[in-house]
């Protein structure tokens, strides 16, 4: 990377000879010059090296170790501990073995609602694939990517369709996907709505901006405990209100769906401010002249939002959803504190599932769950980015 | 005395006083030593450790730093700290049930010699069960008992009197009592209360509750028969048989007479409910007995009775998997035809020392646990509800004055101590599972299946299949022979 003209090694040696240096000094001189030259040549790589080493130690190394763990069985022995290679046994247990009910769910019969989900899901996948194939701009990479993403999506639709409703029960993978989709949808709609309101010229908007932002500052476990207190129907601060509404004896934690929704509400309370603050910046950076021109032309507020505001903030919206989706896949604090994953395993997220196995020393099983989560979340997030965020950005450009 | 002599004397006296003031106090044995002790997030258990730490520091110079973590994380956090060589924790107060996982890889210090030389601890005063079983593994002492743990049934004496019922002797009696009391106003607040309050929250203490119910149906021929597995092949008794089915039926039925959110309650919640007068019955360790006499918080002072865990007139025939009537041969320890199998759940909070800690810190840690266990301290602590410590010393059972001074009536004290002593002296006592990775059997597999049963995700048949399959899978993963050998040695089976 050096811009300085470098002298060749024979020239330097000759120079040293002329100076009458002894052979030992000459060798030392040549070595020193060689190192300097080598350092000059590799300075770029050397500058990057500390960062690379850091990433390798804190990101890649744990990934490799946990991959090894997921293929192993941990056991305490007299010499400390032993990790025995067992191939894909931990994954087999999750997908086809004793933990299938926990990971994928329990299938008994297809309920009407499950059938509807499958019809809508497979229909949407087929339609999207058809549109891509009919578009004429097919690439090998694009096709492979879509096939991988749609296979996974198809699997998820099948899993939901067969384990939801009736006597079937969903597993921790479906519960996590429910938290991701329902949570992010609620957070996005409310966060964007509040941001839109605060971007208008209304009284007290500065005050509301601060108020809406506060929950984001609180630590997730703090939120979970606060929410647990708020959601206590008998002793919480809203107990008189619940009692007056006839809900004093309602045990939300005893019903699978109410427990899951309470987790979603708690998560939304925490994350709406994040969506709010990002979307507020997007709304406020939108050029005013386009909106004013539309107003002059007599466009209704709805038309202005649909045709001018939304297209301008859509790429930011897609990015904020992507960030939230990635985060939501890792949810653990709220179900752990609010319900401990109950009733049964109804509100257990994948991360909580992995955490419970880990703390009982089933390190291999725990790593297998974590890796499964990594596969699912990576494929879905990459698909979301390529199929939704990128086209939005291209459209905007 | 001349003025000169007086002034000389005054100066010398002042000098001595000044020197005395400046001289350092005599060095204590553990000056400058800090002990990091881990236990679970209290207030119970952590409270007495934190309360007594300053006095211990004054006496010995050692500073005790109590680190608390949630109960469900304690086993893993401690094990991680010690197995990875982090060793930020010097000692811990945890379950002797987990000792096997700590002793096998050499993480726990053998304190046999220290205990033998320690006169202040008064070892003979510790009840034999705790001294010989809870504190020891393979004949060596690794832990010091600070708490005695047996589960028993608490009932409201006033409610029993009003309803004309006797304390429950069998689990059917328990259900009948709960049914009769459920929906009645038990604390005079004009609202309907509950027949039975049992901690059924997942990932908390609920798996001990189902073991308390099931034990009477599963073990009848003494401790060495074992209540968890068959001793021939380690096939789970928590599997498809009529005894476990009956236990699950009873356990599920208690939910009908409990608070609506019972499946989300841990023992902290049920204790509050019971002491606030909202429950007629509860299953718990010794804690309710002392919490019930708290003058500030309890609404059931002198209204609480305690009995040994209810039993059953029918027990499991291990050959056929059927329930059979008790006979003197089948239930040699039965009283009035009722087989009781009191459950030493958890085993009592005990102190253990990190084998890799600094030698001076090990000495200080041992001294601290000994200090906590010595009768002058523990005899007071076991009478205070907030400590979470229950009686485990013979003097604590014999000296009624300790309890009456703490606020218990003589009758209540006799009831309470009687129930614990009956459990302690029972030849059919059920020892908690102490084989390697017992956490996976109880806290994960059993706990999950029971939670799913209560949530309606599984029926009784499904729950039985699920527990048996999970336990067999864990056993096969860890080696059936090794697990069987560990199981037999912990219960003293041949």
Kindly list the residues from chain B whose CB atom is less than 8 angstroms away from the CB atom of residue A101: 466
For residues B390 and B294, give the distance between their C-alpha atoms in angstroms, rounded to a whole number. Answer: 15
Kindly list the residues from chain A whose CB atom is less than 8 angstroms away from the CB atom of residue B437: 76, 360-361
Helix or strand (DSSP H, E) at B222:
none
pLDDT bracket for residue B180 (50, 70, 90): very high
Average pLDDT over residues B39-46: 87
Number of CB pairs < 8 Å for A and B? 113
Residue-range definition of the domain harbouring residue A189: 171-396
Determine whether the interchain pair B448/A345 forms a contact, defined as Cβ–Cβ distance below 8 Å: yes
Q: Are strands B304-308 and B152-156 parallel, antiparallel or unpaired?
A: antiparallel
> What is the structure's pLDDT at A27?
67
Does residue A229 fall inside a structural domain?
yes
pLDDT bracket for residue B385 (50, 70, 90): confident
Closest CA to B154 of B341, B306, B298, B345: B306
> What is the structure's pLDDT at B303?
93
Residue B276 contacts A where some CB pair is shorter than 8 Å: no
Q: Which of A69, A96, A129 is the last residue of a domain?
A: A69
Residue B85 contacts A where some CB pair is shorter than 8 Å: no
Kindly list the residues from chain A whose CB atom is less than 8 angstroms away from the CB atom of residue B262: 254
Tens digit of each residue's pLDDT (9 = 90 or more) over B250-298: 999 999 999 988 998 989 899 999 999 999 999 999 899 989 988 888 9
Kindly list the residues from chain B whose CB atom is less than 8 angstroms away from the CB atom of residue A249: 260
Does residue A7 fall inside a structural domain?
yes
> What is the structure's pLDDT at B26?
53
Q: Which of A28, A54, A69 is the last residue of a domain?
A: A69
Per-residue pLDDT at B353 exceeds 70: yes
pLDDT bracket for residue A4 (50, 70, 90): very low
Determine whether the interchain pair A344/B477 forms a contact, defined as Cβ–Cβ distance below 8 Å: no
Kindly list the residues from chain A whose CB atom is less than 8 angstroms away from the CB atom of residue B79: 361
Chain A: residue whose CA lies nearest to B85: A80
Same domain as A218, residue A361: yes
Tens digit of each residue's pLDDT (9 = 90 or more) over A143-163: 898 999 999 999 999 999 999
Average pLDDT over residues B101-105: 88
Per-residue pLDDT at A6 exceeds 50: no
Determine whether the interchain pair A256/B455 forms a contact, defined as Cβ–Cβ distance below 8 Å: yes
Q: How far is A130 from chain B (nearest CA, A)?
A: 40
> What is the structure's pLDDT at B22?
42
Question: pTM of the full predicted structure?
Answer: 0.81
Does residue A129 fall inside a structural domain?
no
pLDDT bracket for residue A255 (50, 70, 90): confident
Determine whether the interchain pair A80/B105 forms a contact, defined as Cβ–Cβ distance below 8 Å: yes
Q: How far is B434 from chain A (nearest CA, A)?
A: 14
First vs last Cα of chain A: how many Å apart?
36
| Percent of the residues in chain B that have a pLDDT greater than 90, as a whole number | 72
Average pLDDT over residues B90-113: 92
Kindly list the residues from chain B whose CB atom is less than 8 angstroms away from the CB atom of residue A79: 105
Chain A: residue whose CA lies nearest to B262: A254
> What is the structure's pLDDT at A21?
54
pLDDT bracket for residue A397 (50, 70, 90): low
Out of A70-84, A350-364, B45-59, the most confident range is B45-59
Closest CA to B348 of B391, B402, B404: B391
Interface test with A, best of B71, B94, B105, B473 (most A CBs within 10 A): B105
Chain B: residue whose CA lies nearest to A343: B455
Out of A16-30, A247-261, A383-397, the most confident range is A247-261
Give the number of other Cβ atoms within 10 Å of residue B148's Cβ: 28
Average pLDDT over residues A8-25: 53
> What is the structure's pLDDT at B78?
92
Tens digit of each residue's pLDDT (9 = 90 or more) over B200-216: 998 888 999 999 999 99
Average pLDDT over residues A76-88: 85
Contact criterion met (CB below 8 Å) for B98 and B75? yes
Average pLDDT over residues A266-273: 91
For residues B288 and A133, give the distance between their C-alpha atoms in angstroms, rounded to a whole number. Answer: 70
Tens digit of each residue's pLDDT (9 = 90 or more) over B427-438: 999 999 999 889
Determine whether the interchain pair A360/B456 forms a contact, defined as Cβ–Cβ distance below 8 Å: no
Determine whether the interchain pair B451/A356 forms a contact, defined as Cβ–Cβ distance below 8 Å: no
* Chain A: residues touching B (Cβ < 8 Å): 73, 75-81, 93, 98, 101-102, 106, 169, 233-234, 249-254, 256, 339-346, 356-362
> What is the structure's pLDDT at B350?
96
Burial class for B428, CB neighbours closer than 10 Å (0-12, 13-18, 19+): buried
Average pLDDT over residues A105-132: 90
Residues 213-272 of B with CB under 8 A from A: 259-264
Contact criterion met (CB below 8 Å) for B144 and B370? yes
Report the greatest alpha carbon distance in chain B: 106
Q: Which of A13-27, A94-108, B57-71, B395-409 is predicted least confidently?
A: A13-27
Contact criterion met (CB below 8 Å) for B328 and B422? no
Determine whether the interchain pair A359/B456 forms a contact, defined as Cβ–Cβ distance below 8 Å: no
Does residue A283 fall inside a structural domain?
yes
Kindly list the residues from chain A whose CB atom is less than 8 angstroms away from the CB atom of residue B458: 344
Same domain as A364, residue A227: yes
Contact criterion met (CB below 8 Å) for B82 and B106? no
Chain B: residue whose CA lies nearest to A251: B261
Does residue A152 fall inside a structural domain?
no
CATH code where residue A345 lies: 1.10.3720.10
Contact criterion met (CB below 8 Å) for B195 and B201? no
Does residue A132 fall inside a structural domain?
no
Q: How far is B55 from chain A (nearest CA, A)?
A: 33
Same domain as A391, residue A274: yes
Average pLDDT over residues A76-89: 86
Chain A: residue whose CA lies nearest to B104: A78
Average pLDDT over residues A252-261: 89
> What is the structure's pLDDT at A2?
38
Residue B461 contacts A where some CB pair is shorter than 8 Å: no
Determine whether the interchain pair B202/A77 forms a contact, defined as Cβ–Cβ distance below 8 Å: no
> What is the structure's pLDDT at B282?
97
Per-residue pLDDT at A277 exceeds 50: yes
Average pLDDT over residues B379-394: 92
Does residue A148 fall inside a structural domain?
no
Same domain as A351, residue A227: yes
Helix or strand (DSSP H, E) at B144:
strand B143-145
Same domain as A34, residue A182: no
Q: How far is B236 from chain A (nearest CA, A)?
A: 16
Q: What is the mean pLDDT of chain B?
A: 91
Out of A284-288, A299-303, B40-44, B52-56, the most confident range is B52-56
Tens digit of each residue's pLDDT (9 = 90 or more) over A172-193: 999 999 999 999 999 999 999 9
Interhelix angle for B242-256 vs B447-454, to 10°? 50
Tens digit of each residue's pLDDT (9 = 90 or more) over B472-492: 999 998 899 999 999 998 888
Tens digit of each residue's pLDDT (9 = 90 or more) over A124-146: 999 989 988 888 888 888 889 89
Q: Which of A69, A86, A116 is the last residue of a domain?
A: A69
Q: Which of A84-98, A223-237, A301-315, A317-331 is predicted least confidently?
A: A223-237
Burial class for B221, CB neighbours closer than 10 Å (0-12, 13-18, 19+): middle
Q: What is the dihedral of CA B97, B103, B104, B105, to 10 degrees?
A: 130
Total domains present in chain A: 2
Determine whether the interchain pair B457/A249 forms a contact, defined as Cβ–Cβ distance below 8 Å: no
Q: What is the mean pLDDT of chain A?
A: 85
Same domain as A180, residue A60: no
pLDDT bracket for residue A22 (50, 70, 90): low
Determine whether the interchain pair A342/B443 forms a contact, defined as Cβ–Cβ distance below 8 Å: no
Q: How far is A108 from chain B (nearest CA, A)?
A: 12
Same domain as A65, residue A176: no
Determine whether the interchain pair B202/A360 forms a contact, defined as Cβ–Cβ distance below 8 Å: no
Give the number of other Cβ atoms within 10 Å of residue A255's Cβ: 16
> What is the structure's pLDDT at A208?
81
DSSP state of A14: H
pLDDT bracket for residue B53 (50, 70, 90): very high
Does residue A46 fall inside a structural domain?
yes
Question: How far, in Å, are B78, B267, B274, B343, B355 from residue B71 at the CA level?
Answer: 11, 12, 22, 20, 22
Chain A: residue whose CA lies nearest to B73: A359
Residue B459 contacts A where some CB pair is shorter than 8 Å: no
Kindly list the residues from chain A whose CB atom is less than 8 angstroms away from the CB atom of residue B260: 249-251, 254
Tens digit of each residue's pLDDT (9 = 90 or more) over A200-253: 887 777 788 788 888 888 887 788 888 878 877 777 788 888 888 877 777 788
């Amino acid at each position: 990377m050096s811009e300085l003209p470098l002298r060749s090694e024979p020239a330097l040696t000759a120079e040293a000879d002329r100076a009458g240096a002894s052979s030992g000094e000459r060798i030392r001189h040549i070595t020193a010059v060689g190192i300097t030259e080598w350092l000059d040549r590799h300075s770029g790589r050397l500058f990057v090296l500390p960062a690379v080493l850091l990433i390798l130690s804190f990101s890649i190394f744990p990934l490799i170790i946990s991959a090894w763990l997921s293929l192993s069985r941990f056991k305490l022995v007299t010499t400390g501990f032993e990790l025995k290679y067992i191939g894909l046994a931990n994954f087999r247990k999750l997908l086809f073995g004793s933990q299938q009910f926990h990971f994928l769910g329990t299938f008994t019969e297809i309920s009407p609602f499950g059938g509807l989900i499958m019809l809508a899901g497979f229909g949407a996948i087929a339609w999207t694939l058809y549109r891509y194939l009919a578009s004429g701009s097919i690439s090998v990479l694009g096709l492979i990517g879509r096939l991988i993403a749609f296979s996974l999506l198809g699997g998820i639709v099948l899993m939901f369709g067969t384990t939801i409703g009736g006597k079937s029960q969903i597993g921790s993978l479906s519960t996590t996907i429910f938290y991701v989709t329902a949570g992010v949808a609620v957070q996005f709609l409310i966060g964007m709505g509040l941001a839109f309101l605060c971007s208008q010229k209304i009284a007290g908007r500065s005050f509301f901006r601060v108020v809406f932002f506060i929950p984001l500052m609180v630590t997730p476990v703090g939120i979970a405990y606060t929410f647990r207190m708020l959601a206590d129907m008998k002793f919480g601060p809203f107990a008189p209100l619940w009692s007056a509404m006839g809900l004093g004896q309602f045990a939300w934690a005893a019903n699978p769906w109410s427990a899951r929704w309470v987790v979603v509400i708690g998560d939304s309370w925490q994350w709406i401010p994040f969506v709010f603050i990002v979307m507020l910046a997007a709304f406020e950076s939108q050029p005013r002249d386009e909106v004013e021109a539309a107003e002059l032309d007599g466009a209704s507020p709805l038309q202005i939002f649909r045709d001018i505001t939304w297209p301008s903030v859509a790429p930011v919206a897609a990015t904020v959803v992507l960030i939230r989706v990635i985060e939501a896949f890792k949810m653990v604090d709220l179900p752990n504190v609010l319900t401990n994953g109950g009733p049964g395993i109804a509100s257990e997220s994948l991360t909580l599932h992995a955490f419970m196995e880990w703390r009982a020393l089933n390190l291999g099983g725990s790593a297998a769950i974590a890796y499964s989560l990594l596969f699912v979340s990576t494929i879905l997030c990459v698909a979301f980015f390529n199929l939704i965020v990128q086209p939005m950005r291209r459209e905007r450009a | 005395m001349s003025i000169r002599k007086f002034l000389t004397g005054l100066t010398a006296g002042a000098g001595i006083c000044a020197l005395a003031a400046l001289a350092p106090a005599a060095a204590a044995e553990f000056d400058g030593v800090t002990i990091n002790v881990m236990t679970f997030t209290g207030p119970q258990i952590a409270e007495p450790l934190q309360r007594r730490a300053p006095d211990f520091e004054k006496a010995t110079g050692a500073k005790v730093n109590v680190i608390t973590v949630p109960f469900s994380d304690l086993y893993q956090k401690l094990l991680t700290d010690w197995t990875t060589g982090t060793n930020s924790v010097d000692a811990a107060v945890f379950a002797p049930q987990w000792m096997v996982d700590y002793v096998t890889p050499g993480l726990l210090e053998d304190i046999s010699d220290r205990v033998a030389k320690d006169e202040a601890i008064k070892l003979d005063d510790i009840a034999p069960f705790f001294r010989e079983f809870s504190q020891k593994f393979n004949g060596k002492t690794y832990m010091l008992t600070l708490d005695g743990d047996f589960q028993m049934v608490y009932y409201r004496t006033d409610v029993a009197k009003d309803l004309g019922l006797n304390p429950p002797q069998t689990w059917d009696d328990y259900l009948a009592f709960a049914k009769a009391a459920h929906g009645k106003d038990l604390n005079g607040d004009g609202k309907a209360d509950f027949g039975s309050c049992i901690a059924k929250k997942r990932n908390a203490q609920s798996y001990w509750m189902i073991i308390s119910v099931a034990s009477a149906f599963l073990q009848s021929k003494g401790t060495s028969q074992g209540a968890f597995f068959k001793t021939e092949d380690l096939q789970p008794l928590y599997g498809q048989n009529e005894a476990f089915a009956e236990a699950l039926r009873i356990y599920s039925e208690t939910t009908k007479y409990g608070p609506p959110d019972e499946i989300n309650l841990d023992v902290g919640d049920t204790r509050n409910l019971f002491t606030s007068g909202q429950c007629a019955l509860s299953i718990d360790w010794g804690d309710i007995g002392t919490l019930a006499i708290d003058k500030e918080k309890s609404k059931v002072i002198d209204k609480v009775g305690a009995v040994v865990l209810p039993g059953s007139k029918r027990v499991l025939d291990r050959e056929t998997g059927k329930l059979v009537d008790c006979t003197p041969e089948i239930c040699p320890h039965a009283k009035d035809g009722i087989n009781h199998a009191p459950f030493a759940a958890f085993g009592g909070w005990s102190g253990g020392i990190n084998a890799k800690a600094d030698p001076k810190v090990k000495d200080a840690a041992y001294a601290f646990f000994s200090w906590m266990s010595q009768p002058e301290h523990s005899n007071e602590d076991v009478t205070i509800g907030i400590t979470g410590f229950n009686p485990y010393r013979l003097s604590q059972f014999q000296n009624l004055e300790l309890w009456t001074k703490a606020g218990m009536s003589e009758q209540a004290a006799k009831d309470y101590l009687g129930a614990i002593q009956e459990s302690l002296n029972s030849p059919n006592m059920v020892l908690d599972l102490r084989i390697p990775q017992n956490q996976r059997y109880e806290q994960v597999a059993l706990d999950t299946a029971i939670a799913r049963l209560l949530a309606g995700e599984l029926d009784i048949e499904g729950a039985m299949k699920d527990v048996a399959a999970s336990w067999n899978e864990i056993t096969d993963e860890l080696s059936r022979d090794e697990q069987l050998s560990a199981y037999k040695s912990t219960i003293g089976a041949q």
